[in-house]
Amino acid sequence: MTPDHVDGLLEAARDRSTFGFTPVPWDRASMTAYVHTAMAKREAGVHEPFVTWSVDQQRIVGSTRFYDLETWDWSTQPPGPHSLQRLEGPDVASIGYTWLDPAVQRTPVNTEAKLLMLTHAFEVWSVWRVRIQTDVRNERSKAAIARLGFALDGVLRADMPGTDDTVRDTAAFSMLLDEWPVHRERLHSRLARSGG
């Protein structure tokens, strides 16, 4: 994500019919601030923001990112041949800040983007867990997360401000490193069937 993506992101956010529970910038000023904040968090090493690109439509269709990149304190673990301690990369990553133009929702675009991100998280970083969270009222988002293979961990009550002047409860999902191979194959098969 760079400032050059502001126009494409604005176009992708024009139809707001499905953004009821998702905070999506609404004008040039808010989108510019969104991009600059995302870039600052990338510079600080706490987020990895991306634009989502549709190959079929040859345009930006939304945004997503890694955030809450968490490295555990392994200092109490003795070194040894079976040590789980890793030398670099986060131990846990969250995927979020995801929104898509309604025109590409329920198409292979989101599955492809998440497959790329999950592959990076599990196969490059070797994280132990990837988290995804959504407003507990967002049935469409919860169904999409479950289709990716994430398990519902529970609901965080009164977790944060909602997008509609409420305090939202958050549905928290996760996928674990040892669960990834099965879900990777299933997602590849699903994309092959859909032509994605």
Residue-wise pLDDT for 48-102, tens only, equals 999 999 999 999 999 999 999 999 888 887 776 656 666 678 999 999 999 999 9
One of 3.40.50.970, 3.60.90.10, 3.40.630.30, 3.75.10.10 is the CATH number of 3-73+88-194, namely 3.40.630.30
**pTM exceeds 0.75, yes or no:** yes
Torsion angles phi and psi, residue 43, rounded to 5:
-60, -35
Residue 173 has pLDDT above 80, yes or no: yes
Q: Which two tokens stand for residue 37?
A: 């904040």
**Percent of the chain surpassing pLDDT 70:** 95
pLDDT confidence band for 196 (50 / 70 / 90): low
pLDDT confidence band for 116 (50 / 70 / 90): very high
**Percent of the chain surpassing pLDDT 90:** 83
Report the relative pairing of strands 92-100 and 129-135 from DSSP bridges.
parallel
Domain layout of the chain by residue ranges: 3-73+88-194
CA atoms within 13 A on the CB side of 60: 19
Average pLDDT over residues 136-157: 96
**For the chain, how many helices (H) and strands (E)?**
5, 6
Element (H, E) at 143: helix 139-148
